[in-house]
Amino acid sequence: MNALANLFPRPARLTVALAMAVLLSACGYNAIPTKDETVKARWGDVQAQYQRRADLIPNLVATVQAYAQQERGVLTAVTQARASATHISVDASTINDPAQFQKFESAQNQLSGVLGRLLAISENYPQLQSNQNFLALQAQLEGTENRIEIARRDYNDAVRDYNTELRTFPGVIWAHTVFSASKPAQEFQATENAQTAPKVSFPNLSK
């Protein structure tokens, strides 16, 4: 800065600083941190939707239990899967850690699977299917599963954009110099259980 001050008067220094900022922006200097923040924002959206689903489950389990206490195995599996999914510690660093990301994804996939089983067995109980609280919870869960799918898709799009920036010019230059600490983000994998929302049907409404 002292050298710059000696070479240029104050107005000229401002012009030089502005020119350098424009130059850095034009050559992609800001692309990596900008795309990284987008990935983190989309990751936050995913977490919010999974939390919304977790918040619905206790009421859903309690409602089913009131009408189908004999289905203790499924009810216990749902409760345990929810506990496993919500007890995994996740933060922004999880998206760059393959092991932690896989652990988080597996727990959520397991919960999706047992929720599907819970909704399937509920169809065997007409009184449960006519319960207004249960119908409302089913509808909320279906909406949440759809939001989860959208949030995961938007997250994966942001991840692909960010990871591409790390590997292509001019981003690859910055990734190996100024932003050498930036690591590729992990994507959700498209699996049958994870990407398909639990089937929600209302057989009694059609009679």
Per-residue pLDDT reduced to its tens digit, 15-37: 545 555 455 555 788 999 999 99
Residue 8 lies in a domain: no
Per the CB < 8 A criterion, the answer to whether 49 and 148 are in contact is yes
State residue 28's pLDDT score: 80
The CATH number covering residue 166 comes to 1.20.1440.20
Q: What is the mean pLDDT of the chain?
A: 86
43 CB-contact burial (10 Å; exposed 0-12 / middle 13-18 / buried 19+): buried
State residue 14's pLDDT score: 56
Per-residue pLDDT reduced to its tens digit, 119-142: 999 999 999 999 999 999 999 999
Residue 184 lies in a domain: yes
Contacts of residue 106, Cβ cutoff 8 Å, sequence gap at least 6: none
Residue 20 lies in a domain: no
Q: Give me the helices (H) in the chain, please.
A: 2-7, 10-26, 31-67, 72-87, 98-122, 126-129, 132-167, 171-175, 192-195
Structural domain of 131? 27-206
State residue 205's pLDDT score: 34
Residue 60 lies in a domain: yes
Rounded to whole angstroms, how far apart are CA atoms 82 and 35? 32
Provide the whole-model pTM: 0.81
Rounded to whole angstroms, how far apart are CA atoms 103 and 156? 17
Amino acid letter, 172: V
Residue 98 lies in a domain: yes
Q: Which of 160, 165, 146 is nearest to 188 (CA)?
A: 160
Cβ neighbour number for residue 33 with a 10 Å cutoff: 13
Per the CB < 8 A criterion, the answer to whether 79 and 61 are in contact is yes
What confidence category does residue 203 fall into, taking pLDDT thresholds of 50, 70 and 90? very low
Tokens linked to 206: 């059609």
Per-residue pLDDT reduced to its tens digit, 148-164: 999 999 999 999 999 99
Amino acid letter, 96: N
Residue 21 lies in a domain: no
Q: 124 vs 3, which has greater pLDDT?
A: 124
Tokens linked to 8: 């240029």
Using the predicted structure, report yes or no on whether residue 206 has a pLDDT greater than 50: no
State residue 207's pLDDT score: 36
Provide the domain count of the chain: 1
Tokens linked to 99: 């092991």
Rounded to whole angstroms, how far apart are CA atoms 180 and 24? 17
Using the predicted structure, report yes or no on whether residue 195 has a pLDDT greater than 50: no
Residue 119 lies in a domain: yes
| 3-state percent breakdown (helix, strand, coil) of the chain, nearest 5 | 75, 0, 25
Percentage of residues in the chain with pLDDT exceeding 70?
79
The residue-averaged pLDDT of 39-56 equals 97
Residue 9 lies in a domain: no
